Structure 1
Amino acid sequence: MVEELIGAVAAAGAGGFVYLASAARIVKQYERGVVFRLGRLHGEVRRPGFNLVVPVVDRLRKVNMQIVTMPVPAQEGITRDNVTVRVDAVVYFKVVDPSAAIVNVEDYRFAVSQMAQTSLRSIIGKSELDDLLSNREKLNQGLELMIDSPAVEWGVTIDRVEIKDVSLPDTMKRSMARQAEADRERRARLINADAEYQASKKLAQAAHQMADTPSALQLRLLQTVMAVAAEKNSTLVLPIPVELLRFLERGHESHEAGRQTSAEDAVADVEQAQEAMEELRHAVEQ
């Protein structure tokens, strides 16, 4: 009798252990559990930790609540300004309603991936090339809104969307490189012209200053000669100021004018001497 009782207790204990083992479910900290009883959603979402379900009758589905990083395959499209590009992106999303993520959509990951690809193609067609290259923040916000709108019904929220890379045809890359080179050359010419203009203003001021003090020009000439001689060259180039040439020219003109004046005075003296001789001869004859 006692042996039968012990056997019954042992059997009940073994059955209870088997039942407990089959009914026990462990939900991790980053997961939530959704219970289906006979195919219908039952009760609230199970929290992390130890949970019990009815074996055979209940089925527990675990949903990951972590942020999922999903790369979007590169999509090829034509921009609004008729440029063919390939754009790839990455989507960060997480589940906020485990029940909706299991019940409302068959595979929320696949659904988000397809929606991201469709939205990326749409945003390429609506944007220009310059926006894709330089105004990505605005495009990222537009992509996030386009994907997040239907994802709300799936119990998923989009954390952020980032455009990773924009691939351009080689011909377009060369054209952009030529454009950038031409723009840089234009700016270099403008800077050089502005420098020449400023230098000319300074040189004009220096010329006026040297015109007021001619000795400054001589000092500048000596400094130039010293700078050239310091190079230990076999040939010394000596610049001649234009003012010196003008001074010599004025001196030559004065000398020629002086010579002409002296000749005229000599002729006048000869004429006066002839007149005096004529008067003396008349006086002798009388």
Structure 2
Amino acid sequence: MQFISSGFVVAVLALILFSAIRIFREYERGVVFMLGRFWKVKGPGLVIIIPGVQQVVKVDLRTIVMDVPPQDVISRDNVSVKVNAVIYFRVIDPQRAIIQVEDFYSATSQLAQTTLRSVLGKHELDEMLAERDKLNSDIQQILDASTDAWGIKVSSVEIKHVDIDQTMVRAIAQQAEAERTRRAKIIHAEGEFQAAEKLVQAADLISKSPQALQLRYLQTLSGIANERSSTIVFPLPMDLMTPFLEAARARGK
């Protein structure tokens, strides 16, 4: 009977010792409470916990990737879109992450959803599509400041998709097509303007040096000689006919 009781005591002691041993990995920490009050943060490695007196809550310090569900957002120009994002954050203070908030993961998720709707609702659709880097930075700064009291560090926010209604997609395509047409017309008009300026400069130069007109005439004749067309229409400069006209007037007098 004494042998059985001794074996029972050894088994109980072994069970207590086994339950008192905790092993935390390099990326884990244990928030230890003694009689319900915070005592200290332990880990990594081997940690001894007194059963019945101390309790420990394990906290993961690795970066957590959170996918924010699609949110219905109405932009500042009254366009309804669905936006989802991904958030990268990690626990930098295990004590505050356990004591200051009930569930830091759920709290960060809810805060990210409301912040996403609030920030994007202040911008127009064109800004959502063209200035994602700026919006990502604004959301990250707001989340980081709000979660600092929980011992959470939000390192990055990335907007993944901005889903737009098909009617709005067609309207955006028409707007882009009209914008490209406008640019093409402006470029064509600028080309005509520059060509007209060069022609004016050429005319001024030729008017100052009549010999230039003769050289241009000969160059044009050389170019026409290479053409294989059976019919060639070539304008004859009046400057070439001037000596003949003057001679005819002199004979008429």
TM-score by length of 1: 0.74
Structure richer in helix, relative to its length:
1
Cα offsets for 1:175-232 (capped at 9, x unmatched)? 233323333332332332222222223222322333344343233223223223324x
Within the alignment, does 1:20 sit opposite 2:30 as a pair?
Answer: no
Other structure's SS at 2:121 match:
helix
Distance (whole Å) between structure 2 residues aligned to residue 249 and residue 183 of structure 1: 57
- The equivalences for 1:25-174 within 5 A come to 25-38=22-35, 40-174=36-170
State the Cα distance separating 1:243 from its structure 2 match.
Answer: 1.5
CA contact (8 A) 1:92 1:160 kept: yes
Distance (whole Å) between structure 2 residues aligned to residue 218 and residue 120 of structure 1: 74
Cα offsets for 1:55-76 (capped at 9, x unmatched)? 3443322100112111111111
- Structure 1, unaligned stretches of length 5 or more? 262-286
CA contact (8 A) 1:143 1:161 kept: yes
After the TM superposition, which of the residue ranges 214-223 and 29-38 deviates more from structure 2? Answer: 214-223
Distance (whole Å) between structure 2 residues aligned to residue 150 and residue 199 of structure 1: 61
Distance (whole Å) between structure 2 residues aligned to residue 224 and residue 188 of structure 1: 32
In structure 1, what residue type is equivalent to 2:186?
L
Other structure's SS at 2:139 match:
helix
Cα offsets for 1:69-117 (capped at 9, x unmatched)? 1111111121111111121112121112223322333321111111111
CA contact (8 A) 1:221 1:239 kept: no
Other structure's SS at 2:214 match:
helix
After the TM superposition, which of the residue ranges 23-32 and 11-20 deviates more from structure 2? Answer: 11-20
Q: Which has the higher contact order (CA 8 A, sep 6+)?
A: 2
Q: 1:135 to 1:234 in 2, by over 3 A?
A: closer
State the Cα distance separating 1:53 from its structure 2 match.
Answer: 0.9
Paired residue total: 251
CA contact (8 A) 2:72 2:83 kept: yes
2:245 maps to what in 1? 250
1:274 maps to what in 2? none
Distance (whole Å) between structure 2 residues aligned to residue 33 and residue 118 of structure 1: 31
2:235 maps to what in 1? 240
CA contact (8 A) 2:120 2:135 kept: no
- Structure 2, unaligned stretches of length 5 or more? none
* Larger-gyration structure (1/2): 1
CA contact (8 A) 2:66 2:87 kept: yes
TM-score by length of 2: 0.82
Identity %: 42
Q: 1:234 to 1:127 in 2, by over 3 A?
A: closer
Distance (whole Å) between structure 2 residues aligned to residue 55 and residue 217 of structure 1: 109
Instruction: Give the superposed CA RMSD.
Output: 3.1
2:191 maps to what in 1? 195
Q: 1:145 to 1:194 in 2, by over 3 A?
A: closer
Distance (whole Å) between structure 2 residues aligned to residue 249 and residue 167 of structure 1: 78
In structure 1, what residue type is equivalent to 2:43?
R
1:209 maps to what in 2? 205
CA contact (8 A) 1:34 1:41 kept: no
State the Cα distance separating 1:251 from its structure 2 match.
Answer: 4.8
